[in-house]
Amino acid sequence: MRLTARLALGLARLLLLLLFVALVAFALVRLSPVDPVAAYLGPGIARLSPEQRAAIEVAWGLDRPTAVQFGRWLGHTLSGDLGWSTSHNAPVASVIAERGGATLRLALPALVLSGLLGFALGLVSGAREGSMLDRAVRFYAYLLAATPTFWLGVVALTVFSVQLGWAPLCCSGPIGVTPDAVTLAQTLAHLALPLTVLTLFGVAQVALHTRAKVAEAMASDHALFAFAQGATRADVALHHAARAALLPALTIVCASFGEILGGAVLAEQVFAYPGLGRATVEAGVRGDVPLLLALTLLAATLVASGNLLADLLYPHIDPRLRGAGGRA
């Protein structure tokens, strides 16, 4: 299948998925006990008369049937109007644009670094299956997989920020300094610890899957033939096993973007990092329905786009997956 056909099919699936996610998210919000009017007014809801409340519901369209409300919200979303964030008192689009940059600076490097580190550990471990190094890597991966992100973040903050003083305690820049006055060195210093925690969080799954594929490739007939010709274990691991494990590792890395985002929510809470993760928690606590719906769609888009990207990259990594009609 050519690249254009694969892309068209992937985009069609993406749109159907987003429509389904939008429908489910809107239904869950409608079934939840969250009162949009009370969430917007806060304590002022006590001074609101029934007539005033009814007028607000009419203005917001809350008096209409659920299907009509969903269609109206979906139409506004498709036109680029994501609504008004009650927790930030600003348009949802501007909140996402402001907080999204901070989250991308944290999540994207963590995704790349965890993929590279996990693949390297899995390659070394699988090439020496049964050795002390293999057992150490597996123990490390299992330990990481069983460790909650927030606990790892708290430990890192306690050790490196509180006790040793090597890293800042919180935020994306020094307290009291405006964002435009924060230097690159200060940004990197505040990013280092949460990035390290989030990177370690994503290593385990990639390392374990890569190790299994490499160990399988090292025991294959092709590897035995290469050994018979005098190839060393390192040569076979790098030139044969690494290629066999690359596609599964790429799949795991792209599919784990959702887990990285989930980990970012916890990491941003622990380190008080002002990204979309903290915005999600704040929106949930304060009942900010428009922001919650927009963040749900954004998360679904990013996760599905990661899977689509992996599918498009497969033919360029493995020529055997290219269609018979020409290059992918």
Alpha-helical runs (H) found in the chain:
3-31, 36-41, 50-60, 66-78, 92-127, 132-145, 149-156, 184-218, 221-228, 233-236, 242-255, 257-271, 276-286, 289-317
Pairwise CA distance, residues 178 & 188, whole Å? 16
- Go through 295-318 and write b for each residue having 16 or more CB atoms within 10 A of its CB, e for each that does not: bbbbbbebbbebbbebbeebbeee
Residues in the chain: 328
Pairwise CA distance, residues 174 & 19, whole Å? 41
- Residue 82 identity: L
* Token representation of residue 208: 């374990």
* Token representation of residue 209: 């899957």
- pLDDT tens over the chain, length 328 residues: 565 776 777 788 888 888 898 888 888 888 877 777 776 666 666 677 777 777 877 777 777 887 888 888 888 888 888 888 877 778 888 888 888 888 888 888 888 898 899 889 988 888 888 788 888 988 988 888 888 777 888 888 888 888 887 877 777 677 766 666 777 777 788 788 888 888 888 888 888 888 888 888 887 777 787 778 777 788 878 877 887 787 778 777 777 777 777 777 777 778 877 888 788 887 877 778 888 888 888 888 887 877 777 777 766 666 555 554 444 4
